[in-house]
Amino acid sequence: MSTILDRWSRRQILVITDSMRVVFALLIGAIVYSGNRSAPMQYGLAAVALLALSANRFLLAAISAAMAHTVNPDEYLSANTVMPLVGPVGAVIGARSDQLPPDPREVPSRVPGRRFRVPPRRHRVRDVRLPGQPLSRTALGPDHRHHHTAADCCAGSRLL
């Protein structure tokens, strides 16, 4: 993984990997929603879940590699320790939020037994503020350019 992370734009890795995770989540949802319990569907579900977990691991490696560009050097160790815990804790909180007490603002859904929450007006999407300056392609690294080619790699492997 480090070979890829050291050669490609980490910003692009984060965007592409997150997009892949969305596709994998939609595929998993479609497989589960289909209700088909045949062996090929079960193997397909296992394969897509494995791909989703692999993409998640790659994303965590990219975040850790890019962290040196976003965190103060004196806080780097703490941030590198806390960052891998944020995702799983958020997933647990999200999973448990379905079991919150009923809210009078809930709207019935089409799925039996499920209700959707209508957020208060102050939490609407239009209130999200985007940063004024987008990140440049190299803002998160890598710090230097690699100009190695496949021929260079073959020449180096002859020395082994």
Give per-residue pLDDT as tens, 87-101: 778 777 776 766 655
Residue 134 has pLDDT above 90, yes or no: no
Please tell me whether the overall predicted TM-score, pTM, comes out greater than 0.85 for this model. Answer: no
CA distance 135 to 99: 38
Lowest mean pLDDT: which of 20-24, 58-62, 88-92, 93-97?
Answer: 93-97
Regarding beta strands 115-116 and 107-108, do their DSSP bridges make them parallel or antiparallel, or are they unpaired? antiparallel
Highest mean pLDDT among 8-17, 22-31, 115-124, 146-155: 22-31
